[in-house]
Amino acid sequence: MDSISVLELFRRCEGFLEGHFQLSSGLHSAGYLQCARVLQYPEHAETLGRALAERVAPLQPAVVLSPALGGVIIGHEVARSLGVRAVFAERRDGQLTLRRGFYLEQGERVLVVEDVVTTGGSTRETIDVAAEAGGAVVGAAAIIDRGEEPVRFEVPFDALVRMSLPAYEVTECPQCAAGESLTKPGSRANT
C-alpha cells in the first residue's frame, strides 16, 4: 500500500480534516488526521496493519507495544500480521506506563507502533516504557509521520506516509493570529 492509497483511504473515511486544531502535543495545525475514523472499519485496520507489518518484518519483533489510545488498534493489527503479541501502555497520573497485567521479557524484541507521529513525543515515551520494562526496542513505526521534518529516533523508524503538516506553538500559530476558532480533537486532555 503506497502513501497515495493511504491518504485516499483517509479522505474517503473523513479521517483527514482541515481547520484549526490543537494536537495532543499542544501544538496547533491546519490539518488533523483522525485515524479512528479509518480504523473503525476492521478491513481498513487489517489492510494498514498488514502494510506496516510488511515494512517492519525484517526487524523481527517478538511483541508490539503501542500507546493507548490511538496506537492500540493499529498496534494490534501489526502484531496480528507479524504473528506476535500486542500490548499497550496507558497514561496514569500523567505518566505513560505498561498496562497492568502486561509484561515484557528481559531483552524481548519490541516494536513500538503508533497511529500518527507529529513530534515523536508519545513514541519516545513508549520506547522508554519498553526499556523500563526490560524490553529491547528494535524499531518504531506509524501509519503517518506528519512532522515538518521526518521524525528521528534512536531506533529504526518507518511510516506508510510521510507528509508535512506544519504544527505551531500557540504564540506562532497563524490561525490563532487570525482569530480562527480552535478544535481539540486529540485523545489527551489539552490544557
In a domain, 188, yes or no: no
Q: 71, 42, 41, 37: which is closest to 140 by C-alpha?
A: 71
| Set of cell numbers at residue 11 | 479522505
For residue 191, the model assigns a pLDDT of: 40
List, for residues 59-92, the tens digit of each pLDDT value: 999 999 999 988 999 999 999 999 999 999 999 9
In a domain, 151, yes or no: yes
Spatial CB neighbours of 126, under 8 Å, sequence gap ≥ 6: 65, 66, 67, 71, 89, 96, 112, 114, 140
In a domain, 41, yes or no: yes
In a domain, 185, yes or no: no
List, for residues 99-157, the tens digit of each pLDDT value: 999 999 999 999 999 999 988 999 999 999 999 999 999 999 999 998 878 788 999 99
> Rounded CA gap, 36 and 85, in Å?
22
| Whether 53 contacts 102, CB under 8 Å | no
pLDDT band at 190 (very low <50, low <70, confident <90, very high): very low
| Whether 170 contacts 7, CB under 8 Å | no
Largest CA distance in the chain: 52
Q: Which residue has the higher pLDDT, 189 or 164?
A: 164
Average pLDDT of span 144-173: 91
**Domain of residue 162, CATH code:** 3.40.50.2020
**In which domain, by residue range, is 75 found?**
3-177
Number of domains in the chain: 1
Strands, sheet with 28-33, edge to edge from the N-terminal-most edge strand: 16-22, 28-33, 167-168
pLDDT band at 36 (very low <50, low <70, confident <90, very high): very high
List, for residues 14-24, the tens digit of each pLDDT value: 999 889 999 87
| Set of cell numbers at residue 9 | 483511504
Average pLDDT of span 161-184: 92
In a domain, 190, yes or no: no
